[in-house]
Structure 1
Amino acid sequence: MNENILYKFLKNKPTYLDYDDELKLMNIMTKLPMSWLIKNKDEFIDALMHLSDSHTIGSGFLLQEECDDIIFDNFCDWLREVNNKTGIATLMYIDDFDPKALGLDEFRKNIRKDENTNK
Structure 2
Amino acid sequence: MNENILYNFLKNKPSFLDYDDELKLIGIMTKLPMSWFIKNKDEFIDALMNLSDSHTIGSGFLFQDENDDIIFDNFCEWLKEVNNKTGIPTLMYIDDFDPKELGLDEFRKNIRKDENTDK
Shift of 1:111: 0.2
Aligned to 1:20: 20
CA-to-aligned-CA distance 1:51-75 (integer Å, 9 cap, x gap): 0000000000000000000000000
Corresponding letter in the other structure for 1:9: F
Corresponding letter in the other structure for 1:58: G
Aligned to 1:90: 90
Q: How does 1:97-112 map to 2 (within 5 A)?
A: 97-112=97-112
Give the gaps of 5 or more residues in structure 1: none
Q: How does 1:36-75 map to 2 (within 5 A)?
A: 36-75=36-75
Shift of 1:18: 0.2
Shift of 1:25: 0.2
Counterpart secondary structure, 2:81:
helix
Q: Once superposed, what is the RMSD of the aligned Cα atoms?
A: 0.3
CA-to-aligned-CA distance 1:42-101 (integer Å, 9 cap, x gap): 000000000000000000000000000000000000000000000000000000000000
- Return the TM-score normalized by structure 2: 1.00
Aligned to 1:81: 81
Output the CA distance in 2 between the equivalents of 1:79 and 1:101: 15
Output the CA distance in 2 between the equivalents of 1:107 and 1:29: 28
Identity of aligned residues (%): 87
- Return the TM-score normalized by structure 1: 1.00
Corresponding letter in the other structure for 1:32: L
Shift of 1:112: 0.1
Segments of 4+ moved more than 4 angstroms: none
